[in-house]
Structure 1
Amino acid sequence: MLSPKKTKFRKQFKGRIHGVAKGGTDLNFGQYGLKALDPERVNAREIEAARRAITREMKRMGRVWIRIFPDVPVSSKPTEVRMGKGKGAPEFWACRVKPGRIMFEIDGVSEEIAREALRLGAAKLSVRTRFVQRIAE
């Protein structure tokens, strides 16, 4: 699973996901992509599950680019623990995804295979998505 090698701080504030994506809104590498429609936190497990589903459907043809990286540590306290006594231990890594962000790109396969692969990948994510395609020039 994806996670940073090292970070400046072990724990982070929760924060909010406001507005739309400023960068990463266009297809840069592949012919087809998966674009987020909602502001959401996507964790490393979801990204890995989506990547596996996409590559399995493509039968190792073509290429996949992951355009998001989980760099936010999410901490939580164990169940039935009283309030106070500090913040919980880091539980998992997540990525804040804004609407309009391209999350996955693929190339080297037909449109039908790409559409089906990204549909299966999108089923593993907690965010609503849309299939996008490069405009033929």
Structure 2
Amino acid sequence: MATKRFAPTPTPSLLSSFTTRPCCLNTSLRALLPATRPFSSTPTPQNWLTPKRGESSKSRKGKPHVATGGSVRGTTLVWGDYGLRLRSHDRRISAHQLKVADETIRKRLRGTKYRLYHRVNANIGVYTSGNDQRMGKGKGSFDYWACRVPVSRILFELKGDVHEQVVRDAMRLAGNKLPGLYEFVRKGDPPVMGITKVGLVGNSEEFLRRPRVPVEAPSLPHTAQRIPGTTPV
């Protein structure tokens, strides 16, 4: 009596289960990858010209922050040896202008070893409406990303084996691409409180933080007050 023999069940493999369906193809490719995910302590660099998430509500035009409490935050270098600092007031710089300035610095320093740091990021949305749009029709549609840069804020920092004159020229070219007036700063330069540099000409931090109390002029006695139209004796 002849016995019926069954063919062995084929083992699933990548070639046998190949398909054009995206879900099946993704599952097959994941089978080839290691089960554990490699760990890295290096943070993923974010895009400084576009925020990671959009805005939940349309932001207003606003004005750059003016430090009135004696703050010197963001006016000195932290990581680099040279930098570019803003000297103008009320400047709103677009992401495109920041990108052009960054490309200008990198083009001037091509072939040298350096590292460029960005101290500002474009996280404010600017919305515009057409000239033929009547009032009361809304804020408008999104146009571009921008950042509000307060006075005396550092925009770029640079560190590397580059001559100071070369870096100075690169920062000068970048400042010409941006709106406003800028100055070249080095490591160890004094901070700026508002528009006044701390530590120069007796302008200490304690002196600049003193309370501004208005001093009234002393009033003269009633008998000594001058009568209009007469000559004092």
Task: Please indicate, yes or no, whether the TM-score normalized by the shorter chain is above 0.5.
Answer: yes
Could you say what secondary structure the match of 1:41 adopts? Answer: strand
Which of the residues 159, 173, 177 maps onto 1:120? 173
Structure 1 residue ranges without an equivalent (≥5): none
Aligned partner letter, 2:56: F
CA distance in 2: counterparts of 1:34 and 1:129, whole angstroms: 7
Does the CA contact (< 8 Å) of 1:42 and 1:127 recur in 2? no
Percentage identity across aligned positions?
A: 35
When structure 1 is superposed on structure 2, of 66-75 and 15-24 the one drifting more is 15-24
Report what 1:13 is aligned to.
Answer: 60
Correspondence 1:82-97 to 2 at 5 A: 82-97=134-149
CA pair 131-71 structure 1, distance change in 2 beyond 3 A: same
- CA deviation after TM superposition for structure 1 residue 17, in Å: 2.2
**In the alignment, does 2:74 pair up with 1:24?**
yes
Which of the residues 71, 83, 86 maps onto 2:123? 71
Could you say what secondary structure the match of 2:146 adopts? Answer: strand
CA distance in 1: counterparts of 2:75 and 2:140, whole angstroms: 34
Which structure has the bigger radius of gyration?
2
Cα deviation digits, residues 18-65 of structure 1 (max 9, x gap): 424752111011110000112300110010000000011011421111
**In the alignment, does 2:93 pair up with 1:46?**
no
- CA deviation after TM superposition for structure 1 residue 79, in Å: 2.4
Aligned residues: 136
- CA deviation after TM superposition for structure 1 residue 7, in Å: 3.5
Aligned partner letter, 1:45: H
Aligned partner letter, 1:118: M
CA distance in 1: counterparts of 2:64 and 2:58, whole angstroms: 18
CA distance in 2: counterparts of 1:15 and 1:22, whole angstroms: 22
CA distance in 2: counterparts of 1:43 and 1:60, whole angstroms: 28
RMSD, aligned CA = 1.8
Could you say what secondary structure the match of 2:58 adopts? Answer: coil
Which of the residues 36, 56, 80 maps onto 2:107? 56
CA distance in 2: counterparts of 1:10 and 1:75, whole angstroms: 11
CA distance in 2: counterparts of 1:87 and 1:3, whole angstroms: 21
Structure 2 residue ranges without an equivalent (≥5): 1-47, 190-233
Which of the residues 148, 151, 154 maps onto 1:102? 154
Q: TM-score, normalised by structure 2?
A: 0.55
Cα deviation digits, residues 86-124 of structure 1 (max 9, x gap): 110111111100111000011211101100000011111
CA distance in 2: counterparts of 1:76 and 1:22, whole angstroms: 34
Does the CA contact (< 8 Å) of 1:53 and 1:120 recur in 2? yes
Q: Which runs of 4+ in 1 moved over 4 A?
A: none
- Structure having the larger proportion of residues in strand: 1
- CA deviation after TM superposition for structure 1 residue 127, in Å: 2.1
